[in-house]
Amino acid sequence: MRRRFMQFAATLLLVCLAIPPAGAITTNRDGEVMIRVGLASSNAHVSTPELESANLENNNSQGFGWGYCFGYYDGSLNFVELARTDRDTISISVLKTQNLRFDGSRYSTNGSGILVGCYHIQIPGSFSSYSEAAAAAAGYSGGFVAWIDGAYQVRVGAYPSKEAAESAGISGTVVGTSSYGMSVVKTGTGQILFQYDCGESGKLAIQPDVTGAEETRTWFDGFKYRGGFQYHRRGGGNLTVVNVLPLEDYVNGVACYEMGREWPLEALKAQATCARTYVLGNLGKHESYGFDICTSANCQVYYGMGTKRTDYGPSEVSMRAVAETAGMVVKYNGRLAETFYSSSFGGASEDAKNVWGTDTVHEYPYLRGVTDPYEADLDDRNDMSPWTKTYTAAQLTQQLQSKGLGTGTSVKSLELTYSQLGNVIQVVVRWANGQSSTISASNIRNRFDIKSIRFTVNGAGADSAVPVTPSAPTGDISINGSGTVGSWEGKYAISGNGSVSSIGERACIISGTGSVSELEGSGTGGTSGGNTPSVQPGGGTVSVSGNTYVFNGGGWGHQVGMSQFGANAMARRGFTYDEIITFYFPGVQLAHY
pLDDT digits (tens, 9 = 90+) for 268-278: 999 999 999 99
Give the contacts of 497 (CB within 8 A, at least 6 positions apart): none
- What is the band of 20 on the pLDDT scale with cuts at 50, 70, 90? low
Q: How does 490-529 read in b/e, with b if 16+ C-beta sit within 10 Å? A: eeeeeeeeeeeeebeeebeeeeeeeeeebbbbbbbbbbee
Distance CA 140, CA 144 (A): 8
Q: What is the pLDDT of residue 522?
A: 42
Q: What is the pLDDT of residue 465?
A: 79
Give the H/E segment covering residue 37: strand 33-40
Rounded to the nearest 10°, the torsion over CA 164, 169, 170, 172 is 70
- What is the band of 491 on the pLDDT scale with cuts at 50, 70, 90? low
Segment among 166-170, 264-268, 383-387, 489-493 with least mean pLDDT = 489-493
**Burial category of 383 from C-beta neighbours within 10 Å (exposed 0-12, middle 13-18, buried 19 and up):** exposed
pLDDT digits (tens, 9 = 90+) for 312-333: 999 999 999 999 999 999 999 9
Average of pLDDT values for 409-432? 96
Q: How many angstroms separate the Cα of 419 from the Cα of each of 379, 507, 554?
A: 23, 18, 15
- What is the band of 395 on the pLDDT scale with cuts at 50, 70, 90? very high
Segment among 101-115, 346-360, 479-493, 507-521 with least mean pLDDT = 507-521
* pLDDT surpasses 80 at 34: yes
Average of pLDDT values for 491-505? 49
Provide the residue type at 135 as one letter.
A
Average of pLDDT values for 532-537? 40
Segment among 1-15, 282-296, 554-568 with least mean pLDDT = 1-15
pLDDT digits (tens, 9 = 90+) for 140-170: 999 999 999 999 999 999 999 999 999 999 9
* pLDDT surpasses 50 at 521: no
* pLDDT surpasses 60 at 386: yes
* pLDDT surpasses 50 at 516: no
Give the contacts of 297 (CB within 8 A, at least 6 positions apart): none
Q: Which residue has the higher pLDDT, 528 or 383?
A: 383
* pLDDT surpasses 50 at 429: yes
Which sequence spans correspond to the domains of the chain?
A: 51-238, 255-285+303-380+562-592, 387-468+538-553
Three-class SS of residue 159?
strand
The number of residues making up the chain comes to 593
Task: Determine phi and psi for 70, rounding to 5 degrees.
Answer: -115, 145
CB hemisphere CA count around 108 (13 angstroms): 9
Distance CA 574, CA 417 (A): 36
pLDDT digits (tens, 9 = 90+) for 206-264: 999 998 887 889 999 999 999 999 999 999 999 999 999 999 999 999 999 999 999 99
Question: Taking the alpha carbons of 127, 131, 134, 135 in that order, is the dihedral positive or negative?
Answer: negative
Give the H/E segment covering residue 478: strand 477-479
- What is the band of 484 on the pLDDT scale with cuts at 50, 70, 90? low
In 285-348, DSSP assigns E strands to 328-332, 335-336, 341-342
Task: Indicate the DSSP class of residue 113.
Answer: S
Phi-psi region of 204 (alpha: psi -120 to 50; beta: other; left: phi over 0): beta
Check: CB of residue 99 under 8 Å from CB of residue 115: yes
Q: What is the pLDDT of residue 502?
A: 47
**Burial category of 11 from C-beta neighbours within 10 Å (exposed 0-12, middle 13-18, buried 19 and up):** exposed
Ranges of H-type helices in 101-246 = 130-137, 162-166
Task: Indicate the DSSP class of residue 377.
Answer: G
Distance CA 10, CA 2 (A): 12
Cis peptide before 20 (omega within 30 of 0): no
